[in-house]
Chain A
Amino acid sequence: MRRLKVFTSLIKDSLDSTTQGSKKYHIWMAFLTFIMLVGMYCYSIQLEYGLSVTGMTDRVSWGLYISNFTFLVGVAAAAVMLVMPTYVLKDIDFKQAVLIGEGLAVAALIMCLAFVVADMGGPSVLWHMIPGIGVFNFPNSMLTWDVIVLNGYLFLNISIPFYILFRRYQGKTPNPKIYVPGAILSVFWAVAIHLVTAFLYQGLQARPFWNNALLGPRFLASAFAAGPALIILVLAVIRTFTSFSIEDKTIKKIGMIVTVAAQINLIMLVSELFKEFYAPTHHSESAYYLFFGLHGKTALLPWIWTAIPLNVLATVILTFGKLRNNFKVLYVACFILFVAIWIEKGFGLIVPGFIPGPYGKIAEYTPTGIEIGVTLGIWALGAFIFTILAKTAIKIETGKLQFKKK
């Protein structure tokens, strides 16, 4: 009964804290709300007229939505890079960052689910996918595996921080015996969500561009570069705008993680390019399309030739300790790395999988305004959720928000 009372008080307090703030905070939230409303309007058009309002066709049947979904699974998986050292290795440096990381994972996962729902032709019959009520094609379909791991990961990333914050809120110390097993589980789980998402594509013999043993490992490497890069950027913002103290040491350590992952990612990219272009086969056509265009069709060239130089540049900057430890340079490097991987793991991965088609047909894909509107709306939703979670978490962590302390 007491717990219920604390819980209701926590809900009330967090509602209070999320609805109050500086002018900048209100402008930020209003801006996000506006984008979300635009996104919802675009989605309502899509609901009415069907997916024909998007740029997708029978030839390229997955586009911007699935691209963003794939990328965001990686961002969500990256929370583990902070969880592992903090909870398991008891590395104190990360403790400040870990709640932020998990909040980011929750926001990213909700965005993932939103993107998947936005991509569905029949969102009203999605209950067909709920085990028990519907028919769940487990274990044959990798999509069912993905549903399980994503929702499981969402549960883990909500429950662990909630437990910790709930204890802190009451002025108690969280019991490691309760949350450490969960944290260890989430370490394995994070690897699973990204590997399973890679297998979604990797398992299709119809699409040689994806049907590639390196796809899974490369997903992991790029995720562990892009995710922590985003966390560094978020921590930088939090350091500037709140009283939440994040030590330089923490950011430097995360920077190290980003660097190693970006380097591994680059090695794998070289390996992939070598395989595709040294002895090109019929199966290299998608890669040719992506990097050089095929038969005059070159829609993806600007994207990939933005991504590759940015990726190399960021990795080179990060590799030199002197540059990496200069925070201004680090932030820039993290930002361009994030953008580069977003292009590479999104557009650069999903779209060429369909081009050329099964019989060599080259039909290009360009997202429509409505598709972009929905996509921006979902990103705004993610930012909105993260802001709320982070604001509450920071207040509790800094002791400003406590039970019966009013």
Chain B
Amino acid sequence: MSEQNNKRWFSLNLGKAKKQEFYSCSCGKTAGSCGSHEEAKDGFDQVFDVKMNRRTAFKQLTASLMIGAGAVSTSCSMIAGNDRKEKAQIDWEEQFKGNYKLMTVEEKKATVDRLVRSYQLRKGKTISMSSKDAEEGVLFGYAFNISKCQGYMDCVNACVEENNQDRNSQMQYIRIHEMKDGKGFNFNEADDNYYHEVPAEGHFYMGTQCFHCDNPPCVEVCPVQATWREEDGLVVVDYDWCVGCRYCMAACPYDGRRFNWSTPEVPEEEVNKDQHYLGNRMRKKGVMEKCTFCVQRSRAGKNPACVDACPTGARIFGNLLDPNSTIRWVLENKKVFRLKEDLGTEPKFWYFMD
């Protein structure tokens, strides 16, 4: 509960204090002590809680499950090449792996290795994929300077390229709302899909994306815990565990989530090969995705792509628990506010003006 004690920003306390306990431990257990992290087991081990290794468990499953029969026949085929066999083996293990949130460090590493190898087999290129966990004493926060933003949308472009978003449907995590001067923050009359020269006369700009709420409604509603809040405050999705029911999308008050309505396509030469399991690795059709504050960058000590791309310096990112960080300076010295605070979602995304 260290983050609770160190919390220095305004909180709307809607009696959610009790719920915070759920988030105090990333092992996903709502009961029991955190000392039992090693015992956290994924779906398979929970069922086959016997002394057998993963491979044997999968063999058992093979016998009992009719689904995936095609994969079995491929992997058993005598004429299939070694590569094909390996690919089938990987696909099989990927299909029946557990929830990333509940995986042990070794299991996380194993699935990352499989995904890297699978990409190598399919495309002949090597990607680097991280499974770096949250660091202690880090809680990410974001601030947006409304006075500075001119609506150039460089952040949007950088985000799309960094995070390997589907180019076909032009998926964008960030929306820049063009608002009329003198109307206040009137989202109803704002335009989030403009195609003209900016800054437009008599307008100001405001960006929205996933706010990485401290009390995220999307996490509560997910029927399979495919989305959760990490220890450093990032709300992430396990793309392989998501069943695509889109309940989280209905639950998000900030339009922060995106769905892959068809197979996402990124031209091979544009693929960002510096990836994180929870971040910009390639997605498949029928799963949710969202802004992760560029987990592959932020956990490596860098700023998210949108922050670095912004030509006006309107975007500020940093560790809320570090008293010397810029974000803390902004929160302490500027008149900050957040959107829809009355909903009790506690976003970690503040707006301010010069």
Contacts and interface: CB of A to CB of B under 8 A. Distances in A.
Interface of A: 49-52, 54, 56-58, 61-62, 116, 119-122, 124-129, 132-137, 140-144, 147, 200-201, 203-207, 353-354, 356-361
B259 A61 contact: yes
Given A206-B343, A359-B187, A125 B243 contact: yes
B246 A62 contact: yes
Contacts of B98: 135
B323 interface: no
Interface stretch (B134-142, B143-151, B223-231): B223-231
Contacts of B164: none
A147 B222 CA distance: 13
Contact of B241 (A128, A132, A207): A128
Interface in B189-242: 189-190, 192, 208, 217, 220-226, 240-242
B261 A50 contact: yes
A58 B344 contact: no
Given A121-B285, A124-B95, A205-B217, A56 B261 contact: yes
A357 B255 CA distance: 8
B46 interface: yes
A405 B258 CA distance: 61
B89 to A, nearest CB: 18
B226 A358 contact: no
Contacts of A61: 246, 249-250, 259
Interface residues of B, number: 58
A52 B262 contact: yes
B223 A129 contact: yes
Contact of B99 (A122, A135, A143, A353): A135
A203 B218 CA distance: 12
A50 B345 CA distance: 32
Contacts of B171: 58
A349 B161 CA distance: 38
25 contacts: A50-B261, A50-B285, A51-B261, A57-B261, A58-B171, A58-B257, A58-B259, A119-B246, A120-B244, A121-B260, A121-B286, A122-B243, A126-B243, A129-B243, A133-B47, A135-B102, A204-B251, A205-B345, A206-B253, A358-B254, A359-B187, A360-B188, A360-B189, A361-B192, A361-B255
B187 A128 contact: no
Given A204-B250, A206-B250, A207-B250, A359 B243 contact: no
Which 5 pairs, one residue from A and one from B, show the smallest C-beta to C-beta distance? A121-B244, A121-B286, A206-B253, A360-B188, A52-B261
Contacts of A126: 243
A125 B223 contact: no
Contacts of B330: none
Contact of A137 (B188, B225, B285): B225
A353 B253 CA distance: 12
Contacts, number: 151
Query: Which residue of A49, A135, A356 has the most chain B CB atoms within 10 A of its CB atom?
Result: A135
Contacts of B9: none
Given A132-B46, A135-B99, A206 B251 contact: yes
A9 B95 CA distance: 41
Contacts of B95: 124-125
Contacts of B260: 50, 121
Nearest to A49: B262
B253 A205 contact: yes
Contact of A121 (B42, B169, B287): B287
Chain B at the A interface: SS class = loop
B329 interface: no
A141 B190 contact: no
A121 B243 contact: yes
B128 interface: no
A136 B222 CA distance: 9
User: Which of B223, B245, B251 gathers most chain A CB within 10 Å?
Assistant: B223
Given A50-B285, A119-B245, A147-B223, A206 B47 contact: no
Given A119-B246, A122-B244, A132-B47, 6 more contacts: A58-B258, A61-B250, A133-B43, A147-B223, A205-B343, A360-B190
B67 interface: yes
B289 to A, nearest CB: 11
A257 B209 CA distance: 49
Nearest to A357: B255
A135 B175 contact: no
A358 B243 contact: no
Interface in B108-127: none
A206 B192 contact: no
Contacts of B217: 204-206
Contacts of B67: 124, 127
B90 interface: no
Nearest to A57: B261
B163 to A, nearest CB: 16
B87 interface: no
Nearest to A141: B223
B252 interface: yes
A135 B43 contact: yes
B263 interface: yes
B103 to A, nearest CB: 11
Contacts of B192: 359, 361
Nearest to A360: B188
Contact of B190 (A133, A140, A203, A359): A359
Contacts of A357: 255
Contacts of B348: none
Contacts of B46: 132-133
A143 B221 contact: yes
Given A206-B217, A359-B192, A353 B250 contact: yes
A120 B286 contact: yes
Contacts of B223: 129, 136-137, 141, 143-144, 147
B229 to A, nearest CB: 13
Contacts of A121: 242-246, 259-260, 285-288
B255 A358 contact: yes
Contacts of B258: 58
B177 interface: yes
